[in-house]
Amino acid sequence: MPNKRHQHAETKVGTRSIIELLLAEEVPSLGKQGEIVRVRPGYARNYLLPYGLATVATEANKRRVEKHRIAQEGVRADKIKRMQELAVTVSKYSVTLEANATAEGHLYGSILAADISKALKAAGFPIESDHVRLDGPLKELGMYTVKLHMAAEVETEVKVWVVPTAATSAAAKA
């Protein structure tokens, strides 16, 4: 008696049976969500289908996934466009950060990506600390050009000025 729960198109390739499935989730070393994959029936029956990682690749499911993929492409394109506009605006801005420093210009602490992100957020730019690309912490006073990686296709730079705090500069003059 056939199992009605998992009706799928099984094809023979040589001496092996192969099933086409549509991935509902990303499965490492198999494929990404929405891809059609060909797997052995046991793998489909015992792992992919029961755990909801895949579904039978019917024509209706394929059309539904294609519609969803097209809608996602539109959302992604809109997000990239907004990020590109933000990148142009941020590149015209410069951040000034105050830090305690020695008379020679060495900082007592250091400036990290989180500090730059916090200053940009305070200025109204929604830049997260993981967008900021530093080769290492900033440990001296001066002007730095810092890369911002906002998406795979969107990168820009921002000028970061590290200046001594007012108390430090007043003490150095005295």
Q: Quick check: is 8 in a domain? A: no
Confidence (pTM): 0.61
Q: How many domains is the chain built from?
A: 2
166 lies in the same domain as 95: yes
Among candidate residues 81, 108, 123, the one where a domain is terminated: 81
Whether residue 132 sits in one domain with residue 108 = yes
Residue 126 has pLDDT above 60, yes or no: yes
Burial of 62 (0-12, 13-18, 19+ CB in 10 A): middle
Residue 47: per-residue pLDDT:
92
C-beta separation of 18 from 39 below 8 A:
yes
Residue 2 confidence (pLDDT): 47
Interval 102-120: pLDDT, tens: 888 888 888 888 888 899 8
For the segment 147-173, the average pLDDT, to the nearest whole number, is 77
pLDDT digits (tens, 9 = 90+) for 7-43: 555 555 556 788 889 888 888 889 888 888 999 999 9
Domain membership of residue 6 (yes or no) is: no
Give bridge partners of residue 149 from the DSSP assignment. Answer: 155
Of 28, 55, 81, which residue is a domain's last? Answer: 81
Query: Would 148 be classed as within a structural domain?
Result: yes
